[in-house]
Amino acid sequence: MSKGIWVFIELRNAKITNSSYELLSAGRKFADKLEQDFTAVLFGYNIESLTDAIAQYGVDKIILADDPKLEKYTTDAYATVLTDLIKAKQPETVFYSHSALVKDLAPRVAERLKTGVATDCIGVEISDDGQFKFTRALYAGKLFNQVYSPHARPVMATFRPNALGVEDPSGVRNVQMEKVKVQLNLENLRTLVKEILGKVQNKMDLTEAEIIVSGGRGMKASENFKLLEELAEVLGGAVGASRAAVDSGWRDHSNQVGQTGKTVSPKLYIACGISGAIQHLAGMNSSRFVVAINKDPEANIFKIADYGIVDDLFKVIPLLTEEFKKMQA
């Protein structure tokens, strides 16, 4: 009988992602409840110094694959090393955060292991008989379901950023460090990352942001998003956009919230000049608080907003930015 909960730790710009800390926070609690070992798995190069931060979260074991061939993500290298590890150690459960890397990796590994993976989960609970039950959004949040893996092991799931939440570290336990010897034939790696364009050091990804300031058709022009950038900066948040704004060419698609963009669950979603089309609401419906600013009192967005201001956003946003600045001063 396989045992143990693994969480796959992800690095971005050589730092542990916030979503990985969510996995560490939740994983420890599940391991306690199921009375299983809790293991963090870390891939990369020159990464040993990061294990201290991981250990703070009460892991029983850290599996470290520290190798130049794992410095940059490639499907073949990561999938091979991870699949071999899982086959050798037979964890019962492997959790990931739902990132670009994991979207590429997890289905590969799952198919190789002939198991399922519940992707982009927004919730999880343990049933009385010790099975993980995962909540997933369908139609970008217009519908939900709960799924589980009755027999196939390991149970695998990827979690949407902010779905689990980060908690304070539970403290260092007796940590066993296991360094993996990476055996990879470079000729077997079928994809080659030639370069990374437009590399940003500190840009927050929309799905991970706790606060999103989002603009729609009412923003009228690309340059007006500067107002939202300023507000987002004061709040430490990220800027999103509706499909109308993206299709008008005002923002990049990576900013789009909705059914053909990202589904987000921030603590606060400030919708500016967004009417609230069904496909947009689906993508932000699970935000904890929604603020709508729109001059049209009939706009759909007001039907789901916790707080609304019916007014010209070009006047409201700068005042709001000033007010938050004052508050922080």
128 part of the interface to another protein, by CB under 8 A: no
* CA max distance for the chain: 63
Interface mask toward another protein for 228-247; x: CB under 8 A: -------x------------
Residue closer to another protein by CB (options 72, 226) is 72
Q: Does 14 bind another protein (CB under 8 A)?
A: no
Q: Quick one: which H or E segment has residue 181?
A: none
* Structure token pair of residue 72: 């940059």
3-class state of residue 216 by DSSP: coil
Q: Is 90 in the site for another protein (CB under 8 A)?
A: no
The minimum distance between CB 23 and another protein, in angstroms, equals 16
Residue 303 is a binding residue for another protein (CB under 8 A): yes
Q: Which listed residue (49, 199, 249, 298) binds another protein by CB under 8 A?
A: 199
- Judged by CB under 8 A, the stretch of 29-37, 43-51, 99-107, 169-177 that binds another protein is 99-107
What's the min distance (Å) between Cβ of 171 and another protein?
Answer: 27
Q: Which of 36, 99, 214, 275 binds another protein (CB under 8 A)?
A: 99
Amino acid at site 86 = I
Q: Is 75 helix (H, G, I), strand (E, B) or coil?
A: helix
Q: How far is the CB of 187 from another protein (least distance, A)?
A: 12
Task: Please name every residue paired with 12 in a beta bridge, in sequence order, or none if there are none.
Answer: 15
Q: Could you say which of 32, 48, 111, 178 contacts another protein (CB under 8 A)?
A: 111
For residue 297, state whether it binds another protein (rule: CB under 8 A): yes
Complex with another protein: residue 168 or 249, whichever CB lies closer:
249
> Could you say which residues in the range 145-164 bind another protein, by CB under 8 A?
145-152
- Assess contact for 13 and 43: CB atoms under 8 A: no
Give the whole-angstrom CA distance, residue 135 versus residue 140: 13
- In the complex, minimum distance from the CB of residue 174 to another protein, in angstroms, rounded to a whole number: 34
- Pairing between β-strand 132-138 and β-strand 117-126 as defined by DSSP bridges: antiparallel
Question: Residues 105, 78: contact at Cβ < 8 Å?
Answer: yes
Q: Does 101 bind another protein (CB under 8 A)?
A: yes
Cβ–Cβ < 8 Å for 248, 256? no
Number of C-beta neighbours around residue 323 at 10 A: 11
Binding string, residues 15-54; x marks residues near another protein by CB under 8 A: ----------------------------------------
Q: What number of chain residues touch another protein (CB under 8 A)?
A: 94
Instruction: Tell me, rounded to whole angstroms, the distance of Cα 233 from its chain centroid.
Output: 20
Tell me how far apart the alpha carbons of residues 168 and 275 are, in angstroms, rounded to a whole number: 38
Query: Any residues with CB less than 8 A from the CB of 256 and at least 6 apart, and which?
Result: 240, 241, 242, 243, 246, 262
Binding flag, residue 1, another protein (CB under 8 A): no
Closest distance to another protein from the beta carbon of 60 (Å): 27
Q: Does 141 bind another protein (CB under 8 A)?
A: yes
Least gap, CB of 243 to another protein (angstroms): 8
Q: To the nearest whole angstrom, how small is the minimum distance from the Cβ of residue 65 to another protein? A: 20
Residue 296 makes contact with another protein by CB under 8 A: no
142 vs 173, beta carbon nearer another protein: 142
Residue of 70, 68, 90 lying closest to 9 (CA atoms): 70
Residues with Cβ < 8 Å from 264, sequence gap 6 or more? 162, 206, 207, 209, 212, 240, 257, 283, 284, 286, 287
Pick between residue 178 and residue 311 the one whose CB is nearest to another protein. 311
CA 174 to chain centre: 29
